[in-house]
Structure 1
Amino acid sequence: MKTFLSLFIFLHATVLFSQTGFVAGVITNENKEPLSGVNISYNHKGVVSDENGAYQIEIIANKQTLVKFSYLGYGTVFKTFKGYKNKTIKYSPILKIQSQEIDEVNIRNYQAAQEGIVKLKAEEFKRIPGANAGIENLLMTQPGVNNSNELSTQYSVRGGSFDENLVYVNGIEIYRPFLIRSGQQEGLSFLNSDMTENINFSAGGFEAKYGDRLSSVLNIHYKKPTKELSTVNLNLLGASYTYENLFLNKKLSTLIGARYRNNQLLVSSKDTKTNFKPVFADIQTYLSYKINNKSSVDFLGNIAMNNYNFTPISRVTKFGGLFQPRELVVFYEGNEQDDFNTYFGALSYKYNFTKNTKLDITGSAFNTQEQEYYDIYGAYSIAEVDPTTGNPLYTSGIGTQLDHARNDLDILIQNVKVSLQHKINQHHFEAGVKFQSENIRDRINEWKAVDNNGLTLRNPNLNTVNNQPFDPFTAPIDLYYKVKAQNDVTINRFSGYFQWNKKWYLGDHILWHHAGIRSQFWNIQNNKTQTTSSFQNTISPRFRLSLKPDWQNTDMVFRLSAGYYHQPPSYKELRDVDGNIQSDVKAQESIHYVFSNEYSFNMWERPFKMTSEVYYKQLNNVNAYSLDNVRVRYDANNNTQAYATGLDVRLSGEFVPGKESWVSFGLLKTEENTNNRGYIARPTDQRFKLAMLFQDYVPSNPNFKVFLNLVLNSSLPGGAPINARADNSTTVDRYNFQTRLRPYRRADLGASYIIVDSNKQYTSGFLSRFKELELGIELFNMFDIQNTTTNTWIYDVDSQRYNSVPNILTGRILNFKIGMQF
C-alpha cells in the first residue's frame, strides 16, 4: 500500500509540474534597436536573445518564476512571471544604458504620476475597435473625456467645450478646421496613429509650458525610425500607408504617412437615406536630421483635403416615447458640397549647449481654406402613431424648409517660438516666448426659410404681432433664420512662460513641486472697419505639489494642483450669432483645483494601478455657447459665470496576463449662470460616464486576439432651436429648453488573428515577405442601439410649440480589415 501511495504521489507531481507555459518577446534598447545576445536566466537555466532580439523561454505553470535579463553595458531587468498552461506571456523589456544614474531612473518611474499625465504606448492599442479608430478613440475611454458622437473626433473634457483642448505633436501646436458642423463632415483627424509612438494626456492642472486653453492637453510624440519599414492597413472605411527609414548615414530619419477615409458605410446606417460621396485624404511627413551630437533639425508637414458631397433623399424618424409616439417623414431635394483643405508646416531647430542646457526654436504656418455650400429643400409631415402597431394614425402637421449657405473661410496662422531648458542638480528650469499672427477672411451667407401648415414662419425673436382677423397683418415676409456678414481680421499674440520643477527629499519621502507662470498679450485689427483694439493681457500662475510617501508595501503618489488657466478668444469666440466681430471679448478664465491619488499594487500577481481625481473648476468671464452636433456658436460676450466639479477614477492593469486593459468611471456636474438669471446645465453637462477597454487572447492560441471598447454616458442637454438666445427678452430663450437626449450606450467588438509577427516568422514562401501580417473583423455598435446627437427642432403652428426630433447616429456595422508590415 505504501509503495502504491508513493508511486501515485510521484506520478501526480510529475503531471503537475510538466504543465508549462511560455514567456516570449523582443529585447530592445531605448532607441528601439534589437539587442542580440542578451542573457536571460531563470530557474538555474539560461538562454540568449537571437539576432533580432527575440527570445522564448518555458516556465512551470501555476508557479512564480523570477527571470533576469542582463547585457554588458546595460542595466539589469528583473521580472516575475506566473506561468499558465499552454499560454504565452508577451514581455518585451527595454534595457537602458548603465551610465544613467539611479536617481534619474526613479524620476522616470514616477514622472507621469507626479505630473498627473496618462501615458500610453500607441503600438499596444493600435487594434482597438471604433468608428473613428485612432488616438481620439482611445481618449474616449479615459475618465473625464466625453463625446457622444462616434462620427466625430472632437471631445470635451470635464465640462469644457470642444475648443478648450490643446493638441501637440512633438511639441508643435495643432489646429482643426473651423466650419465643421457635423461629425460626418470631419473625415480624418490630424493625428496619425500609425506614426505615433507615445500618447500623453492631462485632463487638468497641467504645467505652465502648455498653451492657453481651459481644459486639457494632449501631447503626441511621433516616432523616429530605426530601420526601413512599410506599414499598410486596409479596411472598409479606408486605407493607410506609412513608410519609415534612415538615410544619409543614419542622420536623417524619415517618416511618411498617407491616409484615405470614406464614411459612406457609417452614414448609410443612419435614419436619413442619402447619396453620400465623401473623399477624405491626407499626407503627412516627419523628418529629423541630426547635424551633430549637439544639434538637429526637425520638420513636420501635413496636407489634408476633405471633400464632402452630401445629397439627402429621405428621412423617417420615430420620436415622442411610449406616451406620445410620433413619426417625422421628410423628402429632400438639393445637395451640399463642402471642401475643407488644410496645409501645415513646422520647422524646429534643437541645440544642446550641454546635457543640462537645451535650446529649441520652432516656426510653423497653418492655412485652412474652407467652403460650405448647400441648398437643401425638405417637405415634411408629422404624424401621430398608434403605440401598439407603430402605424401612423393621422397627420398633425405638414411643412417645408429650405436651407441655404454660401460660406467661405480662409485662415492663415503663423508663429515662432523659442524655449530654453536648464537643469541644476534637482532643479529644472524652463522658459519660452512665442509670437503668433492670425489672419482671417470670412464670408457668411446662410439662411433658413420655413413654412408650416401653409404659413411662412418669421424669426420668432422679432416679436412680430399678429392680431388677425381684428387688425390687418402688414409685417413684411422675413426669413426664419439668416446670418450675413463679411469679416477681415488680424489677431496678433505675444505669449511667454517660466516654470521651475524640483525634486525634494523629506527623510525617505520624495516630494516634487512645479511652480510656473504664463502670460499673453493680444490685440485685434479689424481690416474691414480699419480699427484696432487695445492690447489685452492675462497672467496665469500655476502650482503643483506631489508626494511619494515611503510606506512599506504601499506604492502611492498624492498630487495637489491649483492654478489659473486663461483662454484668450479665438476667431470663433469673437464672432457672435449674427456673424459680427466683437473685439472687446475678454479671455475666459478657469481656476483649477485638483487633488489626486495614484495607487500601484499587484492583484492576481499582476501589476495594477488605481488613479482617482477630485476636481473643481471656477469659470469666470465665460463666453457662453450653443452646441448643435459639433458646431459651436458663441454669444461673443462675457456675461456668464460657471463651474464644473466631479470625480474621475481609472483602474488599469493586466486583467489578462501581458495585456493592459482599464475601466474608467466619472461623475460630472457643470452649470452656467448668464446675466444672474440662475444656473442651468451647460451643453456638455454629462453627469455620469462608464467606459471599459479590454484586451484578451485565446490561451491555447495567443495569436487570436479579442478587443472590447465599451462606453456608457448619461444623457446630454438636448440643445435649443437655432434662433435661441440666453435672453429673456427674446421669444426663443435658451433657458426654456432644458430637455435631455437619450443616454449614449455603445459597444464595439474587434477580433484579429496574427499570421506573422516578430515571434512568428517564415523563412520561405509567400509569408516570408512580411514582418507582420494580421486579419481582423470589427462589429461596431454590436447591440444596434439608437444613440442620438442633438435634436432637429420643428415648430408646430397649431400647438404653438417646438417638437424636438432626435438625430439618430450610426447603427450596427460590420468592418473587415487587414494589416501588414514589410
Structure 2
Amino acid sequence: MNIFKPLVCFIFLLTGITSFAQTAFVKGVVLDKKSKPVEGVNVSCANNTAQTNDKGFFQIAVPSDETVTVEFTHVSLKKASLKLSLKSKEVYVFNMYMSDQEEQMGEVIINNNKKSVQGILTFEAKDIRFIPGANAGIENILKTLPGVNSNNELSTQYSVRGGNYDENLVYVNEIEVYRPFLIRSGQQEGLSFINTDLVQNIDFSAGGFQAKYGDKMSSVLDITYRNPTQFGASLEMSFLGGSLAVDAVSKDKKWSAITGVRYRNNSLLVNSQETQTNYTPTFADIQTNINYKASDKWQWSFLGNISQNKYLYQPLTRQTNFGTVNEPMVLAVYYQGKEKDLYNTYFGAIKTTYQVNDTFSLKFIGSVFHTIEQEYFDIYAQYRLGEVDTNIGSDSYGDIQFSRGIGSQLNHARNDLDALIANLEIKGLNNWKQNQIEWGVKYTKESIRDRISEWEVIDSAGFSIRPPIIVPKNDEPYVPYSGLLLPYQFVKAVNFTDIDRFSAYAQWSHKDNLGTAEIWYNLGMRMQSWEVSGDNLSGKVQTVFSPRAQFAIKPDWKKDMLFRFTIGLYNQPPFYRELRDYDGAVQPDVKAQKSLNIVLANDYSFKMWQRPFKLVTEAYYKNMTDVNTYTLDNVRIRYAANNNAAAFAQGLDLRLNGEFVPGTDSWISFGYLKTEENIDDKGYISRPTDQRLKFGLLFQDYMPKIPSLKLYLNLVYNTGLPGGSPSYSDPYLYQNRLNDYRRVDVGFSKVFIDQKVGMSTKKFFKNFKELSLGFEIFNLFNNQNAITNTWVRDVYTKTEYGIPNYMTERVFNLKLNARL
C-alpha cells in the first residue's frame, strides 16, 4: 500500500520533472546461444556491479554524460563489453547473447533529453512500431494517455483536455505541419503526416506548454526525425499496407538522408463494418529529410512530403439491430450511388542552423504547404424500420416482420478546396551560465480557394421532410401549405480567402537552487497579429498577447519528488475552418479563442519489486472566453463562427509507468475530465468533447524462457461523448450521449533477429539487424462502438429512433518487420 500514499498526499498538488542525479541505467536480459537465460552473469561499470537473476535479467547504474564501458563476465562464458554514453536518468535496454568467444559491442550514444521539468512527456520511438492498433503509429500511443481522447480507431485525430481536433499543434523538426481540411470521416484519412520509421524523438505536452510552441489551446506534439550516421533500411508489410525507409550517408559524412515510402489500404477494417460496400481506397506518400553539414557551424536540412489519398466508396446494404430484448428493432438500408474523394498534399521546408559561437545559435525556416481536395458524392438510400422476427424456427428469422417506417434520402456534395500556406521564420537561442533565452519571429501567408455545395433531401412515407431549422406558418388542413419545398439540409458558398499572420515570441529559462532544493522557471510571451481579406471580405487587423510562466522545484527529500506549477494565457487565432459558419460563409472578424490554463503536477519516482516506476499526477483548469462553438460529426467540425460562448475544462490525470515486467516499459493511465460551455448566457451544458472518464493501458511482456516471443496490449476505455444528438439539433434540448467506447488491441511478435542480442549466423540473414513476424487482433472482444447515430422517424408513433453507426468489428492482421 506504500505506493498509494504519495497519490493520496499529492492528489491536488501534482506535476513532474526529471531528477537532476548524474546517473543513468542499463538493463536487459542475458541469454546463451540456445536462447536460454543465463544466471550469475557479473555486470560491472565503474564502481557499480550487478548480477543476472534466474531469468537472466539485470540492471545496473552507470555514470551519465560520459563514455563508459559495461563489462559482462561469467565463469563458463567469455567476457563481453559495451561502450555507451547516456544522459542523466536515461534507461537503456540492452539484451545480448554470451558465447564462448569474446565479443566487443559497438558504442552507443543516447541523446534523448528528458523534459519532465517542462511538463513534456518523452517516448521511445523504437517501441511504437510494435504497439497494435487500427492506425498504428504515434497517435495510437497518445490515445492511451490520460487527458487524450478519441472514440474513432479509424482516425489519427485526438482531443486533449476538452479541446477539439483543431486545437493541437504538431511539429516535425521544429516545422509546423497541417492536415487536410475537408475530411469528415476517419476512414477517409489515410496516412498521418508523421512517418514512424523516420522518427528519433517524440515529445508531447497535454497543456501548459512554453511560449515558443505556438498559438493553440490544447496540446503540442514535437517530433524530431533522425540524422543517420550509416546506411540502413527498414521494411514493414501487413494486410493493411506497407512501408519502406532507407538511410543514406555520403562518404565524407557531410550529406545524409532518410526517405520513407508508405502505402495503406483500409479495406480490411472498413469491410468489418455493418455497411456492405465496394471500397477501393489508395493512400500513399513519400517523405524525405535531407541534411547537409556545410561546416562545424553551419548546417542545412530539407523536409519534403507528397501525399495522395484517393477514397472511393460505394455502399450497398446495411442492417443494424437495436432496441431491447422485449422489443427488438432493425434498420435495413439499401444504397445506390457512390462517393469519390481526393486529398493531394505537397509539403516542403528548408531549415538552416548557424552556430554563431558556443552560446548563441540562429535558425532560419521556410516552408510551403499545398493541398488540393475534392469531395464528390451522390448517395441514395432507401430504408425500412421495423420489428424483428424473433421466432428461431421461422424462415424469416432476423428479418423485418412489421415495418414502422419507410423512407429514403439523397445526399449530394460537390466540394472543392485549394489551399496554399507559406511560412518564413527566424529563431534564436542563447545560453548564458544557468540562463537560456529563446526568441522567434514568423510570417505566415494563407490563401484558400473553397467551393462548398452540399444538400440532403429526406422522404418519409412519400412526404418530403422540411428543414428542421425552418418552422413555416401552417394552418393545415384548413389552408393548404403553399411554401417551397426545400432540402432538409443545404449549404452552398464560394470563398476566396487570404490571411496574413505575423507572430513573435520571447522566453527566458533559469535553473537555480533554493536552499537545498533545485528549482527551474520559465517566463515567456507570445504575440500574433492577423488580417483576413478576400473577395467581398475586409476584416480588421487583430492582435493578441499570450504571457506564460512555468515553475518547477525538486526538494532535497529522501523520496524522489518533483513539483511543477504552470499558468498561462493561450490565444488561438482562427484558422480558415474556424472562420466558416454553418452556411459556408466566411466571417472575417471572428476573434481568437482565449484560454487561461493552470496546471499543478507532481512526479514521484520510486522502486517497486526492485524495479523503477514513476507516478505522474496532473490537475488542470482552463477558463475559456470568446469561444467559437462547433458541432462534431465523426471527425468533421463545423463552427458557428461568432464567439458567442464561454467555457471551462477541469480534470485530473494520473499515469503510472515502469517495469511491470523486467526489461519492458508499460503504463496505466486514468483521466477525469469535465468541460462545459455557456452559449448566449443560456447556462452551462456539456461540450462535444466532454469525455468524463478515461482509462488506458499499454502493456508489454515476453516469455521468460523465450524472450524473443513478445506480447503488446493496447487497451482504451472512454465514457460516451455527447455526440448522440442530430448535428442540427439545439444542444440545449438534446444532450444525448453515445455508449461507452471500449477497445482492446493485442499483438504477438516473434523476433527472429535482434542486433542487441547478436546477429544471425545464416548467410542470407547476416546483414539483418532486426527481423520479426507479428500477429495482431484488433478489437479483441468484438465490442460494438458507435461514432454517431442515424435518426429515423416512426411514421405511426411519431417517434425518432437513434440508430448507432458502429465502428469496426474484430479484425486479424499479420505484420512483418525487417531492418538492415
TM-score (norm: length of structure 2) = 0.88
State the shift of 1:720 in Å: 3.2
Q: Which residue of 1 is the match for residue 24 of structure 2?
A: none
- Given that residues 67 and 78 in structure 1 are in contact (C-alpha distance below 8 angstroms), is that contact kept between their aligned partners in structure 2? no
Alignment of 1:247-266 (within 5 A): 247-266=250-269
Task: Give the partner amino acid of 1:402.
Answer: L
Alpha-carbon distance between aligned partners in 1 of 2:456 and 2:639, rounded to the nearest angstrom: 19
State the shift of 1:96 in Å: 5.0
Alignment RMSD? 2.6
Matched, 1:403 2:403: no
Alpha-carbon distance between aligned partners in 2 of 1:428 and 1:738, rounded to the nearest angstrom: 49
State the shift of 1:614 in Å: 0.5
C-alpha change, 1:604 and 1:645, in structure 2 (3 Å) is same
Task: Give the partner amino acid of 1:358.
Answer: S
- Given that residues 725 and 736 in structure 2 are in contact (C-alpha distance below 8 angstroms), is that contact kept between their aligned partners in structure 1? no
Matched, 1:475 2:473: no
Matched, 1:312 2:305: no
Q: Secondary structure at the match of 2:674?
A: strand
Alpha-carbon distance between aligned partners in 2 of 1:806 and 1:328, rounded to the nearest angstrom: 10
Task: Give the partner amino acid of 1:348.
Answer: K
Q: Which residue of 2 is the match for residue 340 of structure 1?
A: 343
Q: Which residue of 2 is the match for residue 508 of structure 1?
A: 516
State the shift of 1:721 in Å: 2.4
C-alpha change, 1:387 and 1:634, in structure 2 (3 Å) is farther
Q: Secondary structure at the match of 1:677?
A: coil
Q: Which residue of 2 is the match for residue 809 of structure 1?
A: 807
- Given that residues 29 and 58 in structure 2 are in contact (C-alpha distance below 8 angstroms), is that contact kept between their aligned partners in structure 1? no
State the shift of 1:63 in Å: 11
User: What's the CA shift string for 1:778-803, capped at 9, x where partnerless?
Assistant: 00001011111011223445444432
Residue 699 (structure 2) aligned to one of 666, 679, 694: 694
- Given that residues 298 and 354 in structure 2 are in contact (C-alpha distance below 8 angstroms), is that contact kept between their aligned partners in structure 1? yes
Q: Which residue of 2 is the match for residue 729 of structure 1?
A: none
State the shift of 1:460 in Å: 2.1
C-alpha change, 1:812 and 1:22, in structure 2 (3 Å) is closer
Alpha-carbon distance between aligned partners in 2 of 1:540 and 1:659, rounded to the nearest angstrom: 40
Alpha-carbon distance between aligned partners in 2 of 1:366 and 1:219, rounded to the nearest angstrom: 18
State the shift of 1:558 in Å: 0.2
State the shift of 1:69 in Å: 6.2
User: What's the CA shift string for 1:210-250, capped at 9, x where partnerless?
Assistant: 11000000001111111101101000000000000211511
Matched, 1:579 2:591: no
Residue 423 (structure 1) aligned to one of 409, 422, 431: 431
Moved more, 195-204 or 763-772: 763-772
State the shift of 1:545 in Å: 0.6
State the shift of 1:584 in Å: 1.3
User: What's the CA shift string for 1:685-711, capped at 9, x where partnerless?
Assistant: 111011100000010011100110011
C-alpha change, 1:22 and 1:116, in structure 2 (3 Å) is closer
Moved more, 383-392 or 395-404: 383-392
Task: Give the partner amino acid of 1:643.
Answer: F
Task: Give the partner amino acid of 1:774.
Answer: S
Q: Which residue of 1 is the match for residue 650 of structure 2?
A: 645
Task: Give the partner amino acid of 1:216.
Answer: S
Alpha-carbon distance between aligned partners in 1 of 2:316 and 2:668, rounded to the nearest angstrom: 41
C-alpha change, 1:593 and 1:92, in structure 2 (3 Å) is farther
User: What's the CA shift string for 1:418-447, capped at 9, x where partnerless?
Assistant: 010101100100010100000000000100
C-alpha change, 1:64 and 1:391, in structure 2 (3 Å) is closer
Matched, 1:412 2:420: yes
State the shift of 1:772 in Å: 1.4
Q: Which residue of 2 is the match for residue 534 of structure 1?
A: 540
Greater RCO, CA 8 A, separation 6+? 2
Alpha-carbon distance between aligned partners in 2 of 1:674 and 1:783, rounded to the nearest angstrom: 40
Structure 1 unaligned runs (5+)? 1-20, 26-41, 49-55, 84-89, 99-107, 725-731
Alpha-carbon distance between aligned partners in 1 of 2:680 and 2:775, rounded to the nearest angstrom: 52
User: What's the CA shift string for 1:604-632, capped at 9, x where partnerless?
Assistant: 11110000000110011000000000000
C-alpha change, 1:65 and 1:446, in structure 2 (3 Å) is closer
Q: Which residue of 2 is the match for residue 61 of structure 1?
A: 54
- Given that residues 275 and 316 in structure 2 are in contact (C-alpha distance below 8 angstroms), is that contact kept between their aligned partners in structure 1? yes
- Given that residues 64 and 80 in structure 1 are in contact (C-alpha distance below 8 angstroms), is that contact kept between their aligned partners in structure 2? no
Equivalenced residue count is 751
Matched, 1:268 2:271: yes
C-alpha change, 1:150 and 1:67, in structure 2 (3 Å) is closer
Q: Which residue of 1 is the match for residue 626 of structure 2?
A: 621
State the shift of 1:61 in Å: 3.3
Alpha-carbon distance between aligned partners in 1 of 2:317 and 2:557, rounded to the nearest angstrom: 65
State the shift of 1:464 in Å: 1.9
User: What's the CA shift string for 1:491-530, capped at 9, x where partnerless?
Assistant: 000000010000110122101001000010000002x21x
Residue 743 (structure 1) aligned to one of 740, 744, 748: 740
- Given that residues 68 and 84 in structure 2 are in contact (C-alpha distance below 8 angstroms), is that contact kept between their aligned partners in structure 1? no
Task: Give the partner amino acid of 2:569.
Answer: Y
State the shift of 1:111 in Å: 4.8
- Given that residues 66 and 80 in structure 1 are in contact (C-alpha distance below 8 angstroms), is that contact kept between their aligned partners in structure 2? no
C-alpha change, 1:44 and 1:218, in structure 2 (3 Å) is closer
Alpha-carbon distance between aligned partners in 1 of 2:697 and 2:679, rounded to the nearest angstrom: 36
Matched, 1:712 2:717: yes
Residue 460 (structure 1) aligned to one of 462, 468, 472: 468
Alpha-carbon distance between aligned partners in 2 of 1:388 and 1:508, rounded to the nearest angstrom: 78
Task: Give the partner amino acid of 1:606.
Answer: R
Alpha-carbon distance between aligned partners in 2 of 1:738 and 1:70, rounded to the nearest angstrom: 57
Residue 95 (structure 1) aligned to one of 76, 85, 88: 85
Matched, 1:721 2:726: yes
Alpha-carbon distance between aligned partners in 2 of 1:625 and 1:544, rounded to the nearest angstrom: 31
C-alpha change, 1:789 and 1:170, in structure 2 (3 Å) is same
State the shift of 1:762 in Å: 2.1
Structure 2 unaligned runs (5+)? 1-26, 32-39, 75-79, 89-110, 393-397
Moved more, 407-416 or 59-68: 59-68
State the shift of 1:355 in Å: 2.1
C-alpha change, 1:696 and 1:476, in structure 2 (3 Å) is same
- Given that residues 668 and 685 in structure 1 are in contact (C-alpha distance below 8 angstroms), is that contact kept between their aligned partners in structure 2? yes
- Given that residues 146 and 156 in structure 1 are in contact (C-alpha distance below 8 angstroms), is that contact kept between their aligned partners in structure 2? yes
Alpha-carbon distance between aligned partners in 2 of 1:78 and 1:618, rounded to the nearest angstrom: 52
Q: Which residue of 1 is the match for residue 730 of structure 2?
A: 733
C-alpha change, 1:376 and 1:78, in structure 2 (3 Å) is same
Q: Secondary structure at the match of 1:735?
A: coil
Task: Give the partner amino acid of 1:59.
Answer: T
- Given that residues 576 and 635 in structure 1 are in contact (C-alpha distance below 8 angstroms), is that contact kept between their aligned partners in structure 2? yes
Q: Which residue of 1 is the match for residue 787 of structure 2?
A: 789
Alignment of 1:427-442 (within 5 A): 427-442=435-450
User: What's the CA shift string for 1:165-197, capped at 9, x where partnerless?
Assistant: 000001000100010000000010001111111
Matched, 1:349 2:352: yes
Alpha-carbon distance between aligned partners in 2 of 1:65 and 1:472, rounded to the nearest angstrom: 86
Alpha-carbon distance between aligned partners in 1 of 2:67 and 2:225, rounded to the nearest angstrom: 26
State the shift of 1:75 in Å: 4.0
TM-score (norm: length of structure 1) = 0.88
C-alpha change, 1:650 and 1:45, in structure 2 (3 Å) is closer
Q: Which residue of 2 is the match for residue 450 of structure 1?
A: 458
Q: Which residue of 1 is the match for residue 372 of structure 2?
A: 369
| Percentage of pairs with the same residue | 48
